[in-house]
A and B are shown apart, each in its own frame.
Chain A
Amino acid sequence: MAKIFIYPTNSLILSDLVERFGHKPLAMMEKIREKITTVGVDSPPINITPEDPKHGLKYAAVEVPAGVRGRMSIVGPQIDEAEAAIIVLDSASAFGCMGCARTNELTKFLARQRDIPRLEVKYPRTEEEGKDFVYQIAEFLKSLPKEDEE
């Protein structure tokens, strides 16, 4: 089972696809769930406190807006942890969306900087493209080791 970083980071479809092929998706929802269930932190709605954008300084300098650094404090560690990455390009907002174009650019860049298997695929606009889209992702996921080889 490989840890797969997905982009858009909150895509339910992508996350589900990764799970179906026996891998672990590194998705934003999981981190947000952790945040909102953390006892003792009261900063609704997603419990991001002023400390989080400071943690984001590992990925972006202080002159980068707080909203970008706050997002990177969640996404950055997932990129670090990833063993493979799937990046869907030009997707519709409903497919998954991080909200901020600057964060998107930085996220994709950092994922590309990692020396890990990576699939970049365009978001499908027709049924035919849709089939090919799922096929490419499935083949990529099948090519990854399913269990830790020790």
Chain B
Amino acid sequence: MSNSDKVKIALVSCGSEYAGVQKELESAASSLNAELVYPEMDVASLDTIGQEFGLEVASPDLRLMMARAKAVVEGVAEVDAVFVATCFRCAEAAIVRNEVRRYIFEDSGLPVISYSFTERTTAATLLTRMEALTTIAKSKHLLARENQEGLTAGIDSGSTTTKAVVMRDDEIIGEGWVPTIKVIESAEKALQQALDQADVNREDLQAIGTTGYGRFLIGDHFNADLMQEEITVNSKGAVYLAKTQQGDATVIDIGGMDNKAISVQDGIPGMFTMGGVCAGASGRFLEMTSKRLGVDITELGDLAIKGMQKNVEMNSYCIVFGIQSLVNSLAKGATPEDVAAAACHSVVEQIFEQQLQEVEVKEPLVLVGGSSLIAGVPKALEELLKIDVVVPPHSQHIGAVGAALLVSGFVDKE
């Protein structure tokens, strides 16, 4: 890492300053004690970099991105991580964004993430992604931990549910899972469930780690030793539970509000994408489907396994119009099994189309998050990718397990 205390993130973008998001990018970085830097390059190279890079595009700012990426890879710019950003809905930029990100990651080994912005992109949206970037750049020692030690708790305050686990000496001894209503109260309940099951008093906990959307709020409330975004925590938890901490792995986390696809090497996230807030590609869509079918969410998976998604015509990925398609299919005589299968297929197909194109899928593929328990989801993913999907035990508690594991680095060894 560079000498400065601040994490230096190279911003490789095509005119984010014209889209009204520059301030948000700067604000997200500064809240993480990071600074955005702009790799120096020769202006004259803009006319030749396209040919050199092998991607001849019309937009000079996209060629600027390639030139800056080259400066990063060749070490002209000393940085710790790279944030690649282009406008949402620009096809030319999407091609360059993907190739530049791949080039930087493969040729420099630096952590890199890409994002497509609109004028509505806010610092809050960027924060989790940038936090993961700075953690991978700055705190690899934290992520190198492979075993849980001592007595620790992890709490994952998600958008839909709050999960907690208590771990002792590399074993999960208590679990809690409640719907997120009031963030702190829900976290209290989840933790208490886990403590009761573990038969442990809260005062005996040696360290607490928090993650998820509410991590800062509940982290302050519980005086947590670690408050960490869910990309690094969940990927760590996933490879820990799937016992694939060494070598390559791909983690897919289908959450209540967003999805993550993370390529992991030796337990440390490499390339990752985090799906935007789209209900149609999330666990919420499956929840709505189960309500419409009049079954509990826990029964949806078994239904889906018995159904054929091809029997249902889905006209939209949208949670509103997608559900309407399902309802129309029911009216035309489709079975609830087929509808359940179509819903699982729809969620998985969106993840495949929108996220897995940006992450190189390397086996084993570990599927985590509450949706992984709906049997139709891993089945649909296996069918789509034609590979085996691993759903580790406790996959719904992945964030809490990851937090309990990572925070054990803070346990005082007497």
Contacts and interface: CB of A to CB of B under 8 A. Distances in A.
B61 A99 contact: yes
Nearest to A101: B58
Contacts of A70: 15, 18-20, 119
A35 to B, nearest CB: 11
Given A66-B118, A70-B119, A93-B47, A99 B14 contact: yes
A23 interface: no
B88 A45 contact: no
B18 A48 contact: yes
Contact of B22 (A43, A71, A94): A43
Given A65-B89, A99-B60, A45 B46 contact: no
B15 A67 contact: yes
A48 B60 contact: no
A95 to B, nearest CB: 11
Given A42-B23, A45-B17, A48-B22, A66 B57 contact: no
Contacts of A51: 20
B59 A99 contact: yes
B43 interface: yes
A98 B26 CA distance: 22
B18 A67 contact: yes
Given A43-B23, A44-B26, A52-B20, A64 B58 contact: no
A93 B60 contact: yes
Contact of A50 (B14, B21, B43, B44): B21
Contact of A94 (B26, B43, B118): B43
B22 A97 contact: no
**How big is chain A's contact interface, by range?**
20 to 34
Contact of A93 (B46, B119, B120): B46
A13 interface: no
A69 B18 CA distance: 8
Interface string B251-287: 0000000000000000000000000000000000000
A27 interface: no
A101 B61 CA distance: 9
A45 B20 CA distance: 10
Contact of B120 (A50, A65, A68, A102): A50
B396 interface: no
A104 B64 CA distance: 16
A104 B60 CA distance: 10
A71 B19 CA distance: 8
Interface string B113-131: 0000111100000000000
Interface string B17-36: 11111110010000000000
A46 B47 contact: no
A54 B89 CA distance: 16
Interface string A25-51: 000000000000000001111101111
A76 interface: no
A49 B27 CA distance: 14
A67 B87 contact: yes
A66 B21 contact: yes
A104 to B, nearest CB: 8
Contacts of B60: 93, 97-101
Contacts of B118: 53, 65-66
Given A70-B119, A101-B92, A65 B87 contact: yes
Nearest to A72: B18
Interface in B64-87: 64, 86-87
Nearest to B87: A65
A45 B61 contact: no
B22 A67 contact: no
A71 B119 CA distance: 12
Given A67-B14, A99-B64, A102-B90, A44 B22 contact: yes
A149 interface: no
Interface in A93-146: 93-94, 97-102, 104
A93 B64 CA distance: 11
B90 A45 contact: no
B35 to A, nearest CB: 13
B19 A48 contact: yes
Give the interface centre of B14, B19, B61, B88 by most chain A CB atoms within 10 Å: B19
Contacts of B15: 67, 70-71, 99-100
A144 to B, nearest CB: 30
B59 A49 contact: no
A104 B57 CA distance: 13
A147 interface: no
A9 to B, nearest CB: 12
Nearest to B92: A101
Nearest to A97: B60
8 contacts: A52-B18, A65-B19, A66-B19, A67-B19, A67-B86, A70-B119, A92-B47, A101-B59
Interface of B: 14-23, 26, 43-44, 46-47, 57-61, 63-64, 86-90, 92-93, 117-120
Given A49-B20, A66-B18, 9 more contacts: A48-B19, A50-B20, A70-B18, A71-B15, A94-B44, A98-B60, A99-B61, A99-B64, A100-B18
Top 6 nearest A-B pairs by Cβ distance?
A65-B87, A101-B58, A99-B61, A70-B18, A66-B19, A50-B20
